[in-house]
Chain A
Amino acid sequence: SQTIHQWPATLVQPVGSPLSLECTVEGTSNPNLYWYRQAAGRGLQLLFYSVGIGQISSEVPQNLSASRPQDRQFILSSKKLLLSDSGFYLCAWRGRGVSNTGELFFGEGSRLTVL
């Protein structure tokens, strides 16, 4: 069966510090991968998605970047965090080809607080 892992689960960082959130998927190959952010009491905002290694599409111009160094690894980064980067970050994957039902499968999330 397929599983998705995100870490760290919780992170408290000072303004101006760097960020690295990691996401890995197991049990599937060549998935589409996504990063979403959920601010407190708000909906899910798509930040980045990737359809393959090294292929990143950015949805919202901001202080963040994403990379996909391996087929099932997706990394969200920032060089200098802002207060507005605080939120609940969710990684998700979706199958491709015959495995594509349209459904996105989400990880448990990483809660980032920038102080």
Chain B
Amino acid sequence: QQQVKQSPQSLIVQKGGISIINCAYENTAFDYFPWYQQFPGKGPALLIAIRPDVSEKKEGRFTISFNKSAKQFSLHIMDSQPGDSATYFCAASVIYNQGGKLIFGQGTELSVKP
């Protein structure tokens, strides 16, 4: 019940295209859903996050869509750029319980072709 399932494992998108990564969770107690971006040899860094009281959050070219009833959320990267090529992780946590530990999905390796 603590798992977060992420798909696809890898994604190739042309420059200017839309990248879409999906995640699903089981634990209805989760109340914080971030997306992290990781470049090779580096630690992950927060890209964008959403709480379950909203269905969508947009920051620049990055949008999270959240479906509470389906227990799913997704990351959309509009106008994808070669610099977006990285590994993306979804995650979930209960902010004020169990130390706020983040449970991560398995990651999606995104490659944006010029």
Q: Taking the nearest CB of chain A, how far is it from the CB of B49, in angstroms? A: 7
Interface size on B, residues (CB 8 A): 24
Chain B residues within 8 Å of A102, by CB: 32, 34, 49, 93, 95, 100
Chain B residues within 8 Å of A74, by CB: none
Complex CA gap A103/B44 in Å reads 11
Complex CA gap A106/B43 in Å reads 6
Q: Taking the nearest CB of chain A, how far is it from the CB of B40, in angstroms? A: 10
Given known contacts A43-B107, A109-B43, A104 and B102 CB-to-CB distance under 8 angstroms = yes
Complex CA gap A100/B42 in Å reads 23
How many A-B pairs have beta carbons closer than 8 Å: the answer is 61
Chain A residues within 8 Å of B104, by CB: 36, 43-46
Which of B's residues lie within 8 Å of A, judged by CB?
Answer: 6, 32, 34, 41-46, 49, 89, 93, 95-96, 98-107
A-B contact pairs, 30 of them (CB 8 A): A32-B99, A34-B99, A34-B102, A42-B106, A42-B107, A43-B105, A43-B106, A43-B107, A44-B104, A44-B107, A45-B104, A46-B102, A46-B103, A49-B99, A50-B99, A51-B99, A90-B44, A94-B100, A100-B95, A102-B32, A102-B93, A103-B34, A103-B46, A104-B46, A104-B100, A105-B46, A106-B44, A106-B45, A107-B43, A109-B43
